[in-house]
Structure 1
C-alpha cells in the first residue's frame, strides 16, 4: 500500500471528479504537498479546472481530459438522474481506463491518483483512489450502489481516505472497516492558515449545475450577506464574479460566517479557516443530508483537532 507521505520522486498522473468544484478544490492541497515531496505532476482535466489548479501549484503539466458526462435535472432526484445516465457513464469509464494506459506509456507515468473517478486507474502501474466515502450515504433499497462502489474501489492498489480516524468530519462515511489497503490521509484545503480579522458574512454559490443556480437565488434573498461569490450572473450588487479563485481567497479568510451547500470540501475549508458555516444540503444529495445531520452546528471557530 502506498502511504501519502512516502510518495516521492514519482511521475504522477492525477485527475479528479467534476461533480461541482469540491474535488478540484481539495486536490489543490493534494498537489501542493505532492509537489513539495519532489514528485512530477501530470494533471488530466479540463482546461478551466487546470487554470485554477496551476494558479496555486507550479510546475504542473496539463493533459486535456474530459469530465464525466453528468446531467442533473435539478429536482433533487440524484439517484434517478444517475440511473438515466448509467449507460453513458459506464461507456465513459471504459474509455477512460483505456486512455489512462495510453497516457502512462506516452509520459512514463509511475503512479496514478484518482480523486473519486472510478475509471481512472491502471492495470500496469500502481493506482490510488482518493475518497472520504468508503461507505455511501444511501437508503436501504440502494445497497447495490454500495456493492458496486466497493467493487470499483478494488480496482485500485491503495485507497486514501481524506479524513482523520480519531476526529472524522465524515462520520460513518469514512470508516474503513476491514479494508486492508486503505489509509487515512487527513484533511485538505486550498487555504493557508492566516491570522486575519473575521468581519464578513459570505455567501458561496457552490454545487453542480443547476443546483448552484438554485442556491444563488436563495443567497440573494439573504439580506445579511455582505458578499456573494458566484460564477453565475445575477442582479445583486453584492455578487463577486472572480476572474480567478485566488481573487476571492481574502474574502474567505475574512469571513466569520460562510453560507453555502454543506459539501465535504466546504467542511474541510471551514475547519482550516476556523470560521462558522450556515450550511444546507444540496436537495436530494444523501451524503450532504447525512453531513448536515451529523454536524448540528457548523462551528469551526475553535479547532476540533
Structure 2
C-alpha cells in the first residue's frame, strides 16, 4: 500500500531509442503505485513517451547528440566529441538542480546520463555498463571516469539478472549495485505460429550515419529474398509506407510493436542491450548486426554467440541465406520480482 506519493524525474540518454523504451516499464510500475512521473529528454523521447503515456508531463532538455563515423572504427569519432559530452554533462547537472527545485522532485532516475542528478533528491543511476568495452589504450581511464560518475549517485540499478545472463562482463564490477531484472515494455513470450505475415522483420535505430547505412543494406537483402518483409526504422517523424514486398514502419508504441513482432517469423536487429532484453522476454529468433566499431555491441554479439548460439553478422557482409536464427534461452528457477524489490528499497 502506498504510504507517500513521490514525484520522480526520469531522464534517458539520447544514444539510441533503447534508453527511452527501457524506462517505460519503470514508469508504468511507478504510476500503478500512485507516484507522479515527469520525463525529461529531447523531442524524440517526448514523441515516444506521449505515445505510451498521453497525460505524462515532459520537460524538454538537450541531449548529448552523439554521431558515428561511416568507418568501421568509432574511436576517433568519439574522441572528437569528448568536449561536447563534457559540456553536456556539466549543463545537465545545472538543469537537474533547476528542474528538481521547480518541480519539488523527490527522486531522479537517470538512464546513463552522468550529470543528471541533484543535491535536492535521491539519485538513481540506471545502466548495464559498469565495465565499458573499447580500445585497450583508452579503457583504463574510461572505466575510471565511468566509476567516478556512478559513485556520485545514491544507487546504481542494473537491468539484468543477478547472474548477468544478458549483460555478461559489462555488469561485472565491485561497485555497489542492485540488479532489477531485464527492463522491457513487453511482458509475455510470443508463441510461434504456422503462418506469418512477414518472413523477416528488421528493427533499426541508433545514431547516424550508421542507422541509414544499415537500413539501406537491409533493404537490398530483403529485396533479394522475394519474401514479404518489414522494417521498423526507428524514426519518429515518418509515416508507414511500402516498397514492393517491404513495409516500413516508424517507431511504434508497445501494442503495435508487439503486433508486428508477432506477425514476423525472424528478426534482424542491432546488438543493442535494450533489443536483447526485449527479444529475451519475447523469445523471438534473431540475427544480430552490431554497429561497426561500437565496442559494447560487438562484445554483446560475441557474448551471446558463445553463450546462447545467437548468430551475428557484420554490417556490409549481411547474408540472410547463410544466417542462422536462434533465441536466448529463458532463465530457469524461481522468478524474483527484482524491480519491485528495488523500488521498495527506496520507499517507492
Q: What is the TM-score when the length of structure 1 is the normalising length? A: 0.90
For 1:263 and 1:47, the matched residues in 2 are separated by 21
Whether the 8 Å contact between 1:8 and 1:37 is mirrored in structure 2 is: no
Whether the 8 Å contact between 2:269 and 2:289 is mirrored in structure 1 is: yes
Among 166, 169, 178, the alignment partner of 1:169 is: 166
**Unaligned ranges ≥5, structure 1:** 1-5
1:137 matched to 2:133: yes
Structure 1 window deviating more from structure 2 (90-99 vs 190-199): it is 190-199
For 1:7 and 1:139, the matched residues in 2 are separated by 48
Q: CA 1:241 to 1:8, structure 2 compared with 1: closer, same or farther past 3 Å?
A: farther
Among 131, 150, 153, the alignment partner of 2:150 is: 153
- SS of corresponding position for 2:11: strand
In the alignment, which residue of structure 1 is the partner of 2:276?
Answer: 267
In the alignment, which residue of structure 2 is the partner of 1:91?
Answer: 87
1:223-280 CA-to-partner distances (Å, cap 9, x unmatched) read: 3462122256898431313374354331123333210111111101111111111111
In the alignment, which residue of structure 2 is the partner of 1:74?
Answer: 70
Among 40, 43, 55, the alignment partner of 1:44 is: 40
- SS of corresponding position for 1:222: helix
In the alignment, which residue of structure 2 is the partner of 1:217?
Answer: 216
In the alignment, which residue of structure 1 is the partner of 2:264?
Answer: 255
1:123-169 CA-to-partner distances (Å, cap 9, x unmatched) read: 22211100001111123211111111101111111100111112520
In the alignment, which residue of structure 2 is the partner of 1:33?
Answer: 29
For 2:168 and 2:3, the matched residues in 1 are separated by 27
Whether the 8 Å contact between 2:75 and 2:135 is mirrored in structure 1 is: no
For 1:26 and 1:11, the matched residues in 2 are separated by 19
- SS of corresponding position for 1:72: coil
Q: CA 1:157 to 1:263, structure 2 compared with 1: closer, same or farther past 3 Å?
A: same
For 2:134 and 2:8, the matched residues in 1 are separated by 33
- SS of corresponding position for 1:295: helix
Q: CA 1:167 to 1:136, structure 2 compared with 1: closer, same or farther past 3 Å?
A: closer
Among 37, 61, 79, the alignment partner of 2:57 is: 61
Q: CA 1:10 to 1:288, structure 2 compared with 1: closer, same or farther past 3 Å?
A: same
For 1:254 and 1:22, the matched residues in 2 are separated by 22
**Unaligned ranges ≥5, structure 2:** 311-325, 333-348
- Shift of the alpha carbon at 1:284? 0.2
- SS of corresponding position for 2:268: strand
